[in-house]
């Protein structure tokens, strides 16, 4: 046994979310989180760059998984299909824990700082997917266009799903979103003047 309890990051994250749920994000201080995890405030800020980050560890893991899925997709898969498959997989995972998603979404929606960070993390997620596409040969700007767009559709699908998580299928919302977007873009007046 070490001198201190194991898994300090995990303990801090757990303590933080418990406190955020109980009394709100703003009302929870770094010192309180640290104390609940049995450590010093200073250790909290050494392990997490700021108070918001505690919330987004899972997203980074999800990003790595998505990137791996994209890189490992069959060679003949179109870029948009590779990212769509990765995000559809994520839809399925999220749908398995509607309660957790709801709690998380509630906390994020209630706080402007967390909303901003959420946006920023999802942008990073999209950037990672674009990088994965490039690794498999997709050129720019196609890689970024596909990744950012798929992420955008995912977020729209998620926002619709979270309203009634029990009565809608998230992967279907996502797929239908992509289809609807395709038809929106195709029926546009600019279609003819592709290169000028």
What is the binding site for its own copies (CB under 8 A)?
Answer: 77-81, 84, 115-117, 119-120, 123, 141-142, 144-146, 148-149, 152-153, 155-156, 160, 172, 175-182, 184-191, 193-196
Task: Return the number of the residue (62 or 80) whose C-beta is nearest its own copies.
Answer: 80
Give the span between the Cα atoms of 113 and 60, in whole angstroms: 18
Q: Supply 61's token pair.
A: 């893991």
Decide if 26 contacts 52 (C-beta within 8 A): no
Minimum distance of DNA from residue 167's CB (angstroms): 37
105 binds, among its own copies, DNA, none (CB under 5 to 8 A by kind): none
Give the span between the Cα atoms of 127 and 121, in whole angstroms: 10
Give the span between the Cα atoms of 32 and 26, in whole angstroms: 12
Kindly state the helix (H) or strand (E) to which residue 192 belongs, with its residue range: none
Minimum distance of DNA from residue 128's CB (angstroms): 23
Minimum distance of its own copies from residue 55's CB (angstroms): 14
Interface contacts to DNA, rule CB under 7 A: 1-4, 8, 28-31, 34, 38-43, 45-47, 49-52
CA angle 86, 104, 27 (to 5 degrees): 145
Task: Return the number of the residue (47 or 85) whose C-beta is nearest DNA.
Answer: 47
């Amino acid at each position: 046994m070490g001198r201190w309890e194991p898994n300090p990051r995990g303990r801090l994250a757990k303590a933080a979310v418990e406190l955020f749920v109980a009394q709100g994000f703003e009302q929870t201080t770094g010192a309180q989180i640290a104390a609940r995890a049995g450590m010093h405030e200073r250790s909290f800020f050494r392990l997490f760059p700021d108070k918001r980050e505690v919330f987004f560890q899972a997203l980074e893991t999800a990003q790595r998984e998505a990137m791996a899925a994209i890189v490992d997709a069959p060679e003949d898969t179109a870029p948009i299909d590779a990212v769509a498959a990765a995000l559809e997989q994520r839809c399925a995972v999220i749908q398995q824990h509607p309660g957790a998603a709801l709690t998380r979404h509630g906390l994020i929606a209630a706080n402007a700082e967390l909303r901003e960070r959420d946006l920023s993390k999802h942008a990073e997620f999209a950037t990672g997917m674009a990088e994965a596409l490039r690794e498999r040969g997709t050129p720019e700007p196609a890689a970024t266009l596909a990744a950012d767009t798929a992420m955008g559709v995912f977020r729209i699908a998620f926002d619709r799903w979270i309203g009634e998580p029990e009565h809608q299928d998230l992967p279907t919302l996502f797929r239908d979103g992509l289809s609807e977007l395709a038809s929106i873009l195709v029926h546009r007046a600019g279609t003819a003047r592709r290169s000028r």
